[in-house]
Protein backbone atom coordinates (compact mmCIF):
# COMPACT_ATOMS: atom_id res chain seq x y z
CA UNK A 1 0.00 0.00 0.00
CA UNK A 2 1.25 3.45 -0.75
CA UNK A 3 0.70 4.85 2.66
CA UNK A 4 3.27 2.40 3.95
CA UNK A 5 2.59 3.12 7.63
CA UNK A 6 1.11 1.14 10.45
CA UNK A 7 -1.46 -1.40 9.39
CA UNK A 8 -3.76 -3.47 11.60
CA UNK A 9 -5.10 -0.28 13.03
CA UNK A 10 -8.45 -1.86 13.63
CA UNK A 11 -7.06 -3.94 16.46
CA UNK A 12 -6.53 -0.70 18.30
CA UNK A 13 -9.08 -0.46 21.10
CA UNK A 14 -9.32 3.28 20.72
CA UNK A 15 -10.67 2.91 17.22
CA UNK A 16 -14.41 3.28 17.11
CA UNK A 17 -14.73 2.72 13.39
CA UNK A 18 -17.35 0.01 13.75
CA UNK A 19 -19.80 2.72 14.59
CA UNK A 20 -19.61 3.88 10.97
CA UNK A 21 -21.10 0.83 9.21
CA UNK A 22 -23.53 0.44 12.09
CA UNK A 23 -24.79 4.00 11.66
CA UNK A 24 -25.13 3.66 7.88
CA UNK A 25 -26.86 0.28 8.10
CA UNK A 26 -29.19 1.56 10.80
CA UNK A 27 -30.30 4.49 8.67
CA UNK A 28 -30.76 2.25 5.63
CA UNK A 29 -32.92 -0.09 7.71
CA UNK A 30 -35.02 2.89 8.73
CA UNK A 31 -35.81 3.92 5.20
CA UNK A 32 -32.84 5.91 3.96
CA UNK A 33 -31.56 5.13 0.47
CA UNK A 34 -27.87 4.32 0.09
CA UNK A 35 -26.58 6.68 -2.60
CA UNK A 36 -22.86 6.06 -2.65
CA UNK A 37 -19.58 5.74 -0.80
CA UNK A 38 -16.68 8.10 -1.52
CA UNK A 39 -13.11 8.21 -0.24
CA UNK A 40 -11.27 11.52 -0.17
CA UNK A 41 -7.65 11.69 0.94
CA UNK A 42 -6.28 14.65 2.89
CA UNK A 43 -3.29 15.39 5.04
CA UNK A 44 -4.95 13.95 8.17
CA UNK A 45 -5.83 10.69 6.49
CA UNK A 46 -8.64 9.43 4.36
CA UNK A 47 -12.22 10.44 4.84
CA UNK A 48 -14.91 7.92 3.96
CA UNK A 49 -18.21 9.54 3.09
CA UNK A 50 -21.38 7.49 2.81
CA UNK A 51 -24.13 9.50 1.12
CA UNK A 52 -27.71 8.76 2.13
CA UNK A 53 -30.98 10.15 0.82
CA UNK A 54 -34.37 10.18 2.41
CA UNK A 55 -37.53 11.87 1.21
CA UNK A 56 -36.41 15.34 0.21
CA UNK A 57 -33.05 15.35 1.94
CA UNK A 58 -29.58 14.08 1.20
CA UNK A 59 -26.76 13.98 3.71
CA UNK A 60 -23.72 12.00 4.72
CA UNK A 61 -22.15 9.80 7.39
CA UNK A 62 -18.41 10.09 7.70
CA UNK A 63 -15.41 8.25 9.04
CA UNK A 64 -11.88 9.65 9.21
CA UNK A 65 -9.20 7.03 8.80
CA UNK A 66 -5.94 8.38 10.23
CA UNK A 67 -3.02 8.57 7.81
CA UNK A 68 -1.29 5.26 7.40
CA UNK A 69 -4.33 3.13 8.10
CA UNK A 70 -5.24 0.88 5.26
CA UNK A 71 -8.26 -0.99 6.56
CA UNK A 72 -11.71 0.12 7.49
CA UNK A 73 -14.87 -1.64 8.66
CA UNK A 74 -16.75 -2.72 5.53
CA UNK A 75 -20.32 -1.80 4.73
CA UNK A 76 -21.21 -4.33 2.08
CA UNK A 77 -22.37 -7.17 4.35
CA UNK A 78 -25.12 -5.01 5.71
CA UNK A 79 -25.59 -2.66 2.76
CA UNK A 80 -25.12 -4.75 -0.41
CA UNK A 81 -25.27 -1.69 -2.66
CA UNK A 82 -21.89 -0.63 -1.21
CA UNK A 83 -20.12 -3.63 -2.73
CA UNK A 84 -18.86 -1.98 -5.92
CA UNK A 85 -17.87 1.18 -4.09
CA UNK A 86 -15.66 -0.85 -1.77
CA UNK A 87 -14.08 -2.58 -4.74
CA UNK A 88 -13.33 0.73 -6.45
CA UNK A 89 -11.94 2.23 -3.24
CA UNK A 90 -9.60 -0.75 -2.82
CA UNK A 91 -8.38 -0.35 -6.40
CA UNK A 92 -7.77 3.37 -6.27
CA UNK A 93 -6.93 4.09 -2.63
CA UNK A 94 -5.65 0.74 -1.43
CA UNK A 95 -8.11 0.76 1.47
CA UNK A 96 -9.42 -2.67 2.34
CA UNK A 97 -12.77 -3.32 4.00
CA UNK A 98 -12.65 -5.73 6.92
CA UNK A 99 -15.16 -8.34 7.94
CA UNK A 100 -15.38 -9.88 4.48
CA UNK A 101 -13.12 -11.58 1.95
CA UNK A 102 -10.85 -9.17 0.12
CA UNK A 103 -13.07 -7.85 -2.71
CA UNK A 104 -12.16 -8.43 -6.35
CA UNK A 105 -10.66 -5.55 -8.29
CA UNK A 106 -13.08 -3.52 -10.39
CA UNK A 107 -12.01 -0.32 -12.09
CA UNK A 108 -8.23 -0.66 -11.99
CA UNK A 109 -6.81 -4.05 -11.05
CA UNK A 110 -3.38 -3.73 -9.45
CA UNK A 111 -1.35 -6.34 -7.66
CA UNK A 112 -1.55 -6.16 -3.86
CA UNK A 113 1.19 -3.86 -2.69
CA UNK A 114 1.39 -1.88 -5.93
CA UNK A 115 1.23 1.91 -5.63
CA UNK A 116 -2.30 3.30 -5.72
CA UNK A 117 -3.26 6.34 -7.79
CA UNK A 118 -5.43 8.19 -5.33
CA UNK A 119 -3.63 9.32 -2.22
CA UNK A 120 -2.58 12.78 -3.16
CA UNK A 121 1.16 12.55 -2.77
CA UNK A 122 3.21 9.75 -4.20
CA UNK A 123 0.75 8.88 -6.90
CA UNK A 124 2.35 7.32 -9.96
CA UNK A 125 3.09 10.02 -12.50
CA UNK A 126 3.21 7.93 -15.64
CA UNK A 127 0.92 5.18 -16.86
CA UNK A 128 0.51 2.22 -14.54
CA UNK A 129 -0.25 -1.16 -16.02
CA UNK A 130 -3.29 -2.88 -14.63
CA UNK A 131 -3.11 -6.61 -14.09
CA UNK A 132 -6.07 -8.41 -15.69
CA UNK A 133 -4.93 -11.71 -14.20
CA UNK A 134 -6.04 -10.48 -10.81
CA UNK A 135 -9.61 -10.90 -12.10
CA UNK A 136 -9.85 -14.65 -12.58
CA UNK A 137 -12.97 -16.24 -14.03
CA UNK A 138 -14.83 -18.50 -11.67
CA UNK A 139 -15.79 -21.72 -13.33
CA UNK A 140 -17.34 -24.65 -11.62
CA UNK A 141 -19.23 -27.71 -12.82
CA UNK A 142 -19.05 -30.10 -15.71
CA UNK A 143 -19.24 -28.71 -19.22
CA UNK A 144 -19.29 -25.11 -18.06
CA UNK A 145 -17.17 -22.78 -20.12
CA UNK A 146 -16.56 -19.06 -20.43
CA UNK A 147 -17.32 -16.86 -23.39
CA UNK A 148 -15.13 -13.79 -23.14
CA UNK A 149 -17.26 -11.10 -24.77
CA UNK A 150 -15.18 -7.95 -25.17
CA UNK A 151 -13.47 -5.59 -24.71
CA UNK A 152 -13.45 -5.27 -28.53
CA UNK A 153 -17.00 -6.34 -29.33
CA UNK A 154 -18.93 -6.84 -32.51
CA UNK A 155 -20.41 -3.51 -33.44
CA UNK A 156 -19.72 0.01 -32.26
CA UNK A 157 -19.69 -0.34 -28.50
CA UNK A 158 -17.74 1.03 -25.60
CA UNK A 159 -14.95 -1.17 -24.28
CA UNK A 160 -16.16 -3.58 -21.62
CA UNK A 161 -15.72 -7.29 -21.19
CA UNK A 162 -18.47 -9.65 -20.12
CA UNK A 163 -17.32 -13.07 -19.07
CA UNK A 164 -20.34 -15.20 -19.79
CA UNK A 165 -20.00 -18.41 -17.82
CA UNK A 166 -22.38 -20.86 -19.40
CA UNK A 167 -23.11 -24.56 -19.82
CA UNK A 168 -24.21 -23.82 -23.39
CA UNK A 169 -27.22 -21.61 -23.56
CA UNK A 170 -28.25 -20.36 -20.14
CA UNK A 171 -26.33 -17.60 -18.41
CA UNK A 172 -26.04 -18.77 -14.81
CA UNK A 173 -23.15 -16.42 -14.10
CA UNK A 174 -21.84 -13.26 -15.64
CA UNK A 175 -18.79 -11.28 -14.67
CA UNK A 176 -18.22 -7.73 -15.79
CA UNK A 177 -14.77 -6.26 -16.38
CA UNK A 178 -14.95 -2.52 -16.68
CA UNK A 179 -11.32 -1.58 -16.05
CA UNK A 180 -10.31 -1.47 -19.72
CA UNK A 181 -11.42 2.08 -20.20
CA UNK A 182 -10.65 3.50 -16.77
CA UNK A 183 -9.23 6.94 -17.61
CA UNK A 184 -8.52 8.20 -14.12
CA UNK A 185 -10.66 11.24 -14.74
CA UNK A 186 -11.50 11.89 -11.06
CA UNK A 187 -7.80 12.37 -10.38
CA UNK A 188 -7.75 15.04 -13.10
CA UNK A 189 -10.19 17.18 -11.11
CA UNK A 190 -7.58 17.79 -8.42
CA UNK A 191 -6.29 21.35 -8.51
CA UNK A 192 -8.06 22.56 -11.65
CA UNK A 193 -10.20 25.69 -11.85
CA UNK A 194 -13.97 25.50 -11.53
CA UNK A 195 -14.37 26.24 -15.24
CA UNK A 196 -12.06 23.38 -16.21
CA UNK A 197 -13.93 21.17 -13.75
CA UNK A 198 -17.13 21.60 -15.77
CA UNK A 199 -15.34 20.51 -18.94
CA UNK A 200 -14.11 17.39 -17.14
CA UNK A 201 -17.58 16.69 -15.74
CA UNK A 202 -19.01 16.89 -19.26
CA UNK A 203 -16.59 14.19 -20.33
CA UNK A 204 -17.04 11.86 -17.38
CA UNK A 205 -20.02 10.24 -19.06
CA UNK A 206 -20.17 11.84 -22.49
CA UNK A 207 -23.72 10.84 -23.40
CA UNK A 208 -24.98 12.52 -20.22
CA UNK A 209 -22.79 15.64 -20.43
CA UNK A 210 -25.57 18.01 -19.44
CA UNK A 211 -26.60 16.06 -16.34
CA UNK A 212 -23.01 15.72 -15.15
CA UNK A 213 -22.33 19.41 -15.74
CA UNK A 214 -25.52 20.29 -13.81
CA UNK A 215 -24.64 18.05 -10.87
CA UNK A 216 -21.12 19.51 -10.75
CA UNK A 217 -22.34 23.09 -11.07
CA UNK A 218 -25.07 22.41 -8.50
CA UNK A 219 -22.41 21.50 -5.97
CA UNK A 220 -20.31 24.58 -6.82
CA UNK A 221 -23.34 26.87 -6.61
CA UNK A 222 -24.25 25.36 -3.25
CA UNK A 223 -20.77 26.12 -1.92
CA UNK A 224 -21.01 29.69 -3.23
CA UNK A 225 -24.58 30.15 -2.05
CA UNK A 226 -25.64 31.37 -5.48
CA UNK A 227 -29.09 31.05 -7.00
CA UNK A 228 -28.94 30.96 -10.77
CA UNK A 229 -31.09 33.31 -12.91
CA UNK A 230 -34.59 31.94 -13.74
CA UNK A 231 -33.96 32.05 -17.51
CA UNK A 232 -30.82 29.97 -17.03
CA UNK A 233 -32.90 27.48 -15.05
CA UNK A 234 -35.30 27.08 -17.96
CA UNK A 235 -32.49 26.62 -20.48
CA UNK A 236 -30.90 23.98 -18.26
CA UNK A 237 -34.15 22.05 -18.25
CA UNK A 238 -34.39 22.28 -22.05
CA UNK A 239 -30.94 20.77 -22.49
CA UNK A 240 -31.37 18.13 -19.82
CA UNK A 241 -34.68 16.90 -21.25
CA UNK A 242 -33.37 16.79 -24.82
CA UNK A 243 -30.47 14.74 -23.48
CA UNK A 244 -32.93 12.36 -21.83
CA UNK A 245 -34.92 11.96 -25.05
CA UNK A 246 -31.73 11.31 -27.04
CA UNK A 247 -30.57 8.64 -24.59
CA UNK A 248 -33.93 6.88 -24.46
CA UNK A 249 -34.08 6.91 -28.25
CA UNK A 250 -30.58 5.46 -28.30
CA UNK A 251 -31.67 2.65 -26.02
CA UNK A 252 -34.68 2.03 -28.29
CA UNK A 253 -32.43 1.96 -31.36
CA UNK A 254 -30.29 -0.71 -29.74
CA UNK A 255 -33.40 -2.75 -28.87
CA UNK A 256 -34.78 -2.71 -32.40
CA UNK A 257 -31.37 -3.32 -33.92
CA UNK A 258 -31.02 -6.41 -31.74
CA UNK A 259 -34.43 -7.61 -32.86
CA UNK A 260 -33.58 -7.05 -36.51
CA UNK A 261 -36.38 -4.54 -37.06
CA UNK A 262 -34.80 -2.73 -40.01
CA UNK A 263 -37.45 -0.06 -40.59
CA UNK A 264 -37.85 0.64 -36.90
CA UNK A 265 -34.06 0.95 -36.67
CA UNK A 266 -34.05 3.51 -39.47
CA UNK A 267 -36.95 5.43 -37.93
CA UNK A 268 -35.66 5.61 -34.39
CA UNK A 269 -32.10 6.41 -35.43
CA UNK A 270 -33.53 9.19 -37.58
CA UNK A 271 -35.42 10.57 -34.58
CA UNK A 272 -32.25 10.40 -32.49
CA UNK A 273 -30.29 12.22 -35.19
CA UNK A 274 -32.93 14.95 -35.24
CA UNK A 275 -32.69 15.38 -31.48
CA UNK A 276 -28.91 15.71 -31.69
CA UNK A 277 -29.25 18.27 -34.48
CA UNK A 278 -31.78 20.23 -32.46
CA UNK A 279 -29.30 20.28 -29.58
CA UNK A 280 -26.65 21.42 -32.07
CA UNK A 281 -28.87 24.29 -33.15
CA UNK A 282 -29.47 25.32 -29.55
CA UNK A 283 -25.88 25.22 -28.35
CA UNK A 284 -23.52 24.54 -31.26
CA UNK A 285 -22.77 21.12 -29.77
CA UNK A 286 -24.69 17.95 -30.53
CA UNK A 287 -24.24 16.97 -26.89
CA UNK A 288 -25.12 20.30 -25.30
CA UNK A 289 -21.54 20.85 -24.19
CA UNK A 290 -20.44 24.27 -23.09
CA UNK A 291 -23.96 25.34 -22.10
CA UNK A 292 -23.99 24.64 -18.36
CA UNK A 293 -21.51 26.80 -16.48
CA UNK A 294 -21.22 27.53 -12.75
CA UNK A 295 -23.76 30.24 -11.94
CA UNK A 296 -26.03 29.68 -14.91
CA UNK A 297 -25.54 29.09 -18.62
CA UNK A 298 -22.97 30.40 -21.06
CA UNK A 299 -25.26 32.45 -23.27
CA UNK A 300 -28.61 32.71 -25.00
CA UNK A 301 -29.84 29.54 -26.75
CA UNK A 302 -29.59 29.44 -30.54
CA UNK A 303 -33.36 29.04 -30.93
CA UNK A 304 -36.19 31.10 -29.53
CA UNK A 305 -38.97 29.56 -27.49
CA UNK A 306 -41.43 29.52 -30.39
CA UNK A 307 -39.01 27.80 -32.77
CA UNK A 308 -38.12 25.30 -30.09
CA UNK A 309 -41.77 24.59 -29.48
CA UNK A 310 -42.40 23.88 -33.16
CA UNK A 311 -39.45 21.51 -33.34
CA UNK A 312 -40.47 19.72 -30.15
CA UNK A 313 -44.06 19.28 -31.28
CA UNK A 314 -43.03 17.84 -34.63
CA UNK A 315 -40.59 15.49 -32.96
CA UNK A 316 -43.05 14.27 -30.36
CA UNK A 317 -45.69 13.50 -32.96
CA UNK A 318 -43.30 11.37 -35.00
CA UNK A 319 -41.78 9.58 -32.01
CA UNK A 320 -45.15 8.81 -30.44
CA UNK A 321 -46.49 7.24 -33.63
CA UNK A 322 -43.45 4.99 -33.99
CA UNK A 323 -43.44 4.00 -30.32
CA UNK A 324 -47.09 3.04 -30.56
CA UNK A 325 -46.41 0.92 -33.61
CA UNK A 326 -43.37 -0.69 -32.01
CA UNK A 327 -45.32 -1.75 -28.94
CA UNK A 328 -47.92 -3.29 -31.28
CA UNK A 329 -45.29 -5.34 -33.14
CA UNK A 330 -45.50 -8.84 -31.63
CA UNK A 331 -42.19 -10.10 -33.06
CA UNK A 332 -40.47 -7.31 -31.14
CA UNK A 333 -42.46 -7.25 -27.93
CA UNK A 334 -42.19 -11.02 -27.46
CA UNK A 335 -38.41 -10.77 -27.29
CA UNK A 336 -38.65 -8.35 -24.37
CA UNK A 337 -41.49 -9.68 -22.29
CA UNK A 338 -40.17 -11.60 -19.30
CA UNK A 339 -36.57 -10.99 -20.34
CA UNK A 340 -33.95 -9.84 -17.84
CA UNK A 341 -36.24 -9.59 -14.84
CA UNK A 342 -35.00 -7.42 -11.98
CA UNK A 343 -37.31 -8.15 -9.07
CA UNK A 344 -38.42 -5.31 -6.77
CA UNK A 345 -36.50 -7.03 -3.93
CA UNK A 346 -33.29 -6.99 -5.96
CA UNK A 347 -33.87 -3.38 -7.00
CA UNK A 348 -34.41 -2.37 -3.36
CA UNK A 349 -31.37 -4.33 -2.20
CA UNK A 350 -29.13 -2.52 -4.67
CA UNK A 351 -31.10 0.77 -4.45
CA UNK A 352 -31.27 0.91 -8.26
CA UNK A 353 -31.87 4.32 -9.79
CA UNK A 354 -33.16 5.74 -13.06
CA UNK A 355 -35.33 3.83 -15.53
CA UNK A 356 -33.89 0.50 -14.36
CA UNK A 357 -34.99 1.19 -10.79
CA UNK A 358 -38.33 2.71 -11.82
CA UNK A 359 -39.24 -0.43 -13.76
CA UNK A 360 -38.77 -2.42 -10.55
CA UNK A 361 -40.57 -0.35 -7.95
CA UNK A 362 -37.82 2.16 -7.07
CA UNK A 363 -39.73 5.25 -8.04
CA UNK A 364 -37.53 8.06 -6.82
CA UNK A 365 -36.72 10.74 -9.37
CA UNK A 366 -34.54 13.54 -8.01
CA UNK A 367 -36.19 16.03 -10.37
CA UNK A 368 -39.19 15.59 -8.08
CA UNK A 369 -37.69 14.68 -4.70
CA UNK A 370 -34.86 17.24 -4.69
CA UNK A 371 -35.76 19.63 -7.52
CA UNK A 372 -33.01 21.69 -9.12
CA UNK A 373 -32.92 24.08 -12.09
CA UNK A 374 -36.52 24.93 -13.02
CA UNK A 375 -37.96 21.54 -12.05
CA UNK A 376 -39.33 22.94 -8.82
CA UNK A 377 -41.95 25.08 -10.51
CA UNK A 378 -42.57 23.16 -13.73
CA UNK A 379 -45.46 20.73 -13.65
CA UNK A 380 -44.27 17.16 -13.94
CA UNK A 381 -46.62 14.40 -14.94
CA UNK A 382 -46.81 11.52 -12.52
CA UNK A 383 -45.46 8.44 -14.24
CA UNK A 384 -47.40 5.23 -13.87
CA UNK A 385 -45.68 3.19 -11.15
CA UNK A 386 -44.33 -0.06 -12.54
CA UNK A 387 -42.64 -3.02 -10.90
CA UNK A 388 -42.62 -5.95 -13.35
CA UNK A 389 -38.94 -5.36 -13.88
CA UNK A 390 -38.46 -7.02 -17.28
CA UNK A 391 -36.91 -5.46 -20.39
CA UNK A 392 -40.35 -4.55 -21.75
CA UNK A 393 -41.23 -2.68 -18.56
CA UNK A 394 -37.96 -0.78 -18.74
CA UNK A 395 -38.81 0.21 -22.31
CA UNK A 396 -42.27 1.36 -21.16
CA UNK A 397 -40.62 3.46 -18.46
CA UNK A 398 -38.32 5.04 -21.05
CA UNK A 399 -41.27 5.89 -23.28
CA UNK A 400 -43.18 7.37 -20.32
CA UNK A 401 -40.16 9.45 -19.45
CA UNK A 402 -39.94 10.76 -23.00
CA UNK A 403 -43.54 11.96 -22.85
CA UNK A 404 -42.73 13.62 -19.53
CA UNK A 405 -39.70 15.25 -21.14
CA UNK A 406 -41.77 16.64 -24.02
CA UNK A 407 -44.22 18.02 -21.47
CA UNK A 408 -41.42 19.75 -19.58
CA UNK A 409 -39.85 21.04 -22.79
CA UNK A 410 -43.04 22.77 -23.82
CA UNK A 411 -43.29 24.54 -20.46
CA UNK A 412 -39.62 25.53 -20.49
CA UNK A 413 -40.00 26.86 -24.04
CA UNK A 414 -42.87 29.03 -22.78
CA UNK A 415 -40.64 30.33 -19.99
CA UNK A 416 -37.97 31.17 -22.55
CA UNK A 417 -40.36 33.02 -24.79
CA UNK A 418 -41.53 35.24 -21.96
CA UNK A 419 -38.07 36.28 -20.82
CA UNK A 420 -35.66 36.11 -23.70
CA UNK A 421 -36.55 39.43 -25.32
CA UNK A 422 -34.93 41.36 -22.48
CA UNK A 423 -31.76 39.29 -22.28
CA UNK A 424 -28.59 40.22 -24.06
CA UNK A 425 -24.90 39.62 -23.50
CA UNK A 426 -23.16 36.55 -22.20
CA UNK A 427 -20.64 35.45 -19.62
CA UNK A 428 -20.42 35.97 -15.86
CA UNK A 429 -22.45 38.89 -14.58
CA UNK A 430 -24.86 38.82 -17.52
CA UNK A 431 -28.53 37.95 -17.22
CA UNK A 432 -27.61 34.33 -17.92
CA UNK A 433 -24.83 33.75 -15.44
CA UNK A 434 -24.15 34.79 -11.85
CA UNK A 435 -20.59 35.35 -10.77
CA UNK A 436 -18.96 32.68 -8.63
CA UNK A 437 -16.13 34.15 -6.61
CA UNK A 438 -13.04 32.35 -5.26
CA UNK A 439 -15.12 30.34 -2.82
CA UNK A 440 -14.08 27.56 -0.45
CA UNK A 441 -16.07 24.70 0.98
CA UNK A 442 -17.60 21.35 0.22
CA UNK A 443 -21.03 20.38 -1.07
CA UNK A 444 -23.00 17.70 -2.82
CA UNK A 445 -24.60 18.28 -6.20
CA UNK A 446 -27.05 16.09 -8.09
CA UNK A 447 -29.05 15.71 -11.26
CA UNK A 448 -31.32 13.12 -12.79
CA UNK A 449 -29.36 11.91 -15.81
CA UNK A 450 -31.11 9.72 -18.41
CA UNK A 451 -29.40 6.77 -16.69
CA UNK A 452 -30.55 7.90 -13.23
CA UNK A 453 -29.31 10.03 -10.36
CA UNK A 454 -25.80 11.51 -10.75
CA UNK A 455 -24.10 12.76 -7.58
CA UNK A 456 -21.00 14.92 -7.22
CA UNK A 457 -19.11 15.61 -4.01
CA UNK A 458 -17.02 18.71 -4.68
CA UNK A 459 -14.51 20.44 -2.42
CA UNK A 460 -13.27 23.90 -3.37
CA UNK A 461 -10.38 25.93 -2.05
CA UNK A 462 -10.43 29.58 -3.13
CA UNK A 463 -12.03 28.89 -6.45
CA UNK A 464 -10.09 25.81 -7.46
CA UNK A 465 -10.91 22.18 -6.92
CA UNK A 466 -9.38 20.17 -4.12
CA UNK A 467 -11.20 17.12 -5.38
CA UNK A 468 -14.43 15.99 -6.99
CA UNK A 469 -15.96 12.59 -6.43
CA UNK A 470 -18.43 11.36 -9.01
CA UNK A 471 -21.09 8.74 -8.65
CA UNK A 472 -22.77 8.02 -11.97
CA UNK A 473 -26.02 6.11 -12.20
CA UNK A 474 -24.30 3.71 -14.58
CA UNK A 475 -21.78 2.75 -11.91
CA UNK A 476 -24.49 2.25 -9.32
CA UNK A 477 -26.77 0.18 -11.56
CA UNK A 478 -24.21 -1.98 -13.30
CA UNK A 479 -23.62 -3.78 -10.00
CA UNK A 480 -27.02 -5.42 -10.45
CA UNK A 481 -26.66 -6.04 -14.18
CA UNK A 482 -25.18 -9.52 -13.78
CA UNK A 483 -28.06 -10.49 -11.50
CA UNK A 484 -30.67 -9.94 -14.23
CA UNK A 485 -29.58 -12.98 -16.23
CA UNK A 486 -30.31 -16.23 -14.38
CA UNK A 487 -33.48 -17.04 -16.31
CA UNK A 488 -32.30 -15.97 -19.71
CA UNK A 489 -30.27 -17.33 -22.59
CA UNK A 490 -27.50 -15.90 -24.75
CA UNK A 491 -29.82 -14.47 -27.39
CA UNK A 492 -31.47 -12.28 -24.73
CA UNK A 493 -28.17 -10.62 -23.88
CA UNK A 494 -28.54 -7.74 -26.34
CA UNK A 495 -31.97 -6.77 -24.99
CA UNK A 496 -30.95 -6.89 -21.37
CA UNK A 497 -27.92 -4.75 -22.10
CA UNK A 498 -29.90 -2.26 -24.20
CA UNK A 499 -32.66 -2.05 -21.61
CA UNK A 500 -30.17 -1.13 -18.87
CA UNK A 501 -28.87 1.62 -21.18
CA UNK A 502 -25.68 2.24 -19.22
CA UNK A 503 -22.60 4.12 -20.30
CA UNK A 504 -19.35 2.29 -19.59
CA UNK A 505 -17.43 5.57 -19.50
CA UNK A 506 -19.58 6.52 -16.52
CA UNK A 507 -18.87 3.19 -14.82
CA UNK A 508 -15.11 3.00 -15.16
CA UNK A 509 -14.42 6.71 -14.66
Footprint on residues 259-298 left by another protein (CB under 8 A): 261, 263-264, 266-267, 269-270, 272-273, 276-277, 280-281, 284-287, 289-290, 298
DSSP 117: S
- What whole-number distance in Å separates Cα of residue 292 and Cα of residue 29? 37
> Which residues, 6+ apart, have CB-to-CB distance to 273 below 8 Å?
none
In the complex with another protein, which residue's Cβ is closer, 262 or 489? 262
Q: Which of residues 415-444 bind another protein (CB under 8 A)?
A: 426-427
Q: In what order do the strands lie in the sheet with 452-461?
A: 441-449, 452-461, 464-471
Among 63, 81, 458, 505, binds another protein (CB under 8 A): 505
DSSP-H helix ranges across 284-304: none
CA 221 to chain centroid: 20
Does 306 engage in binding with another protein (CB under 8 A)?
no
In the complex with another protein, which residue's Cβ is closer, 206 or 338? 206
Q: Which of residues 181-210 bind another protein (CB under 8 A)?
A: 181-185, 187-188, 195-196, 199-200, 203-207, 209
Does 121 engage in binding with another protein (CB under 8 A)?
no
> Which residues, 6+ apart, have CB-to-CB distance to 371 below 8 Å?
none
Shortest spacing between CB 313 and another protein, in angstroms: 16
- What whole-number distance in Å separates Cα of residue 410 and Cα of residue 237? 11
Among 137, 157, 345, 435, binds another protein (CB under 8 A): 157
In the complex with another protein, which residue's Cβ is closer, 73 or 105? 105
Does 497 engage in binding with another protein (CB under 8 A)?
no
Residues 471, 495: contact at Cβ < 8 Å? no
Residues in the chain: 509
Shortest spacing between CB 183 and another protein, in angstroms: 5
Q: In 3-state terms, what secondary structure has residue 486?
A: coil
Q: Which of residues 358-377 bind another protein (CB under 8 A)?
A: none
In the complex with another protein, which residue's Cβ is closer, 145 or 157? 157
- What whole-number distance in Å separates Cα of residue 97 and Cα of residue 321? 52
Residue-wise DSSP of 257-283 = HHTT-HHHHHHHHHHHHHHHHHHHHHH
Does 126 engage in binding with another protein (CB under 8 A)?
yes
Among 96, 165, 316, 322, binds another protein (CB under 8 A): 322
- Interface with another protein (CB under 8 A), residue total 71
In the complex with another protein, which residue's Cβ is closer, 32 or 303? 303
Site string for another protein, 233-262 (x = CB under 8 A): -----------------x--x-------x-
Residues 467, 189: contact at Cβ < 8 Å? yes
Shortest spacing between CB 49 and another protein, in angstroms: 23
Does 329 engage in binding with another protein (CB under 8 A)?
yes
Does 149 engage in binding with another protein (CB under 8 A)?
no
Listed ranges 133-141, 178-186, 341-349, 360-368: which one lies at the site for another protein (CB under 8 A): 178-186
* 65, containing H or E segment: strand 57-66
Residues 60, 50: contact at Cβ < 8 Å? yes
Phi, psi of 327 (to 5 degrees): -75, -10
Q: Which of residues 4-63 bind another protein (CB under 8 A)?
A: none
Residues 496, 488: contact at Cβ < 8 Å? yes
Amino acid sequence: MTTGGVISALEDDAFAGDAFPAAVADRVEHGARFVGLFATPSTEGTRLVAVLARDRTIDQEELLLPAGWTRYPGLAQRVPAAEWYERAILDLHGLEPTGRPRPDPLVFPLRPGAGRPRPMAGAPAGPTDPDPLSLPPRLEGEGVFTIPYGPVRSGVFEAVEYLVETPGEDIPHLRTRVFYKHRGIEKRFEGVSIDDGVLLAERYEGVASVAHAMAFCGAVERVAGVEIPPTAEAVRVVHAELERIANHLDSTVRHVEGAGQAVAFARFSLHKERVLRLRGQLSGSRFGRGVIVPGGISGPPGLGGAELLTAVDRLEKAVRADCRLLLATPSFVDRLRGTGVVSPELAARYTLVGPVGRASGQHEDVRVSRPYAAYGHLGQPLAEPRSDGDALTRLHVRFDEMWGSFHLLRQAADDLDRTEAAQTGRGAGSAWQKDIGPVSGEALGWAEAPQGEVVYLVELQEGSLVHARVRSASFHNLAAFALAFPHDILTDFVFIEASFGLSIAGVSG
